[in-house]
A = this chain, B = another copy of it.
Amino acid sequence: MDVEKIIRTSSPLPLRQRSVIHLVLVSNRIGEVVSQALKPYGVSSQQFNVLRILRGQKDSPANLNTLSERMVSRMSNTTRLVDKLLEKGYASRTVCPSNRRKVEIRLTEEGAEALREMDRAVNDAEARLMEQYTPTQLEQLNALLDLIH
């Protein structure tokens, strides 16, 4: 991305500062593209993320703790996010019988079905976004990102 053009700065930025801004701009762009792809299904990218985690659980239910641990962007309020998924009929929530402090959250059949379509849409969008990259470049990018602590 052309950082200087996007933030309309005339003077060139110091390399490290440019990298940091660049990373944020790219991530914002990813967010944009993904939310756009998900718009037809009425879910946010965080909600999509949760649906994928639920699917990854196979038949065992997830509790809120598990969900927030596994989410890409830690949600400080997973309760309300799950509320939205319930409203849409994509997930179910029951009190865990063995430990009544916990809740059991499951993907519904409707949720699983919608998720298959979302997956396709998001995957296509990501493919378009990243089509410039050769596999080698993707390896390099990942290796460089690994350096951040």
Binding site for B on A (CB under 8 A): 1-2, 7-9, 15-31, 56, 69-73, 123, 126-127, 129-130, 132-133, 135, 137-142, 144-149
Contact = CB atoms under 8 A, between A and B. Distances in A.
What are the 5 tightest A-B residue pairs by CB atom distance, in nearest-first order? A27-B27, A132-B147, A22-B145, A15-B138, A141-B144
B15 A142 contact: yes
Given A70-B9, A72-B24, A19 B148 contact: no
Given A24-B73, A25-B72, A29-B148, 20 more contacts: A1-B146, A7-B70, A9-B70, A15-B135, A16-B127, A16-B138, A19-B130, A19-B142, A19-B145, A20-B30, A21-B72, A22-B141, A23-B26, A23-B30, A24-B27, A26-B145, A27-B27, A27-B28, A129-B148, A129-B149
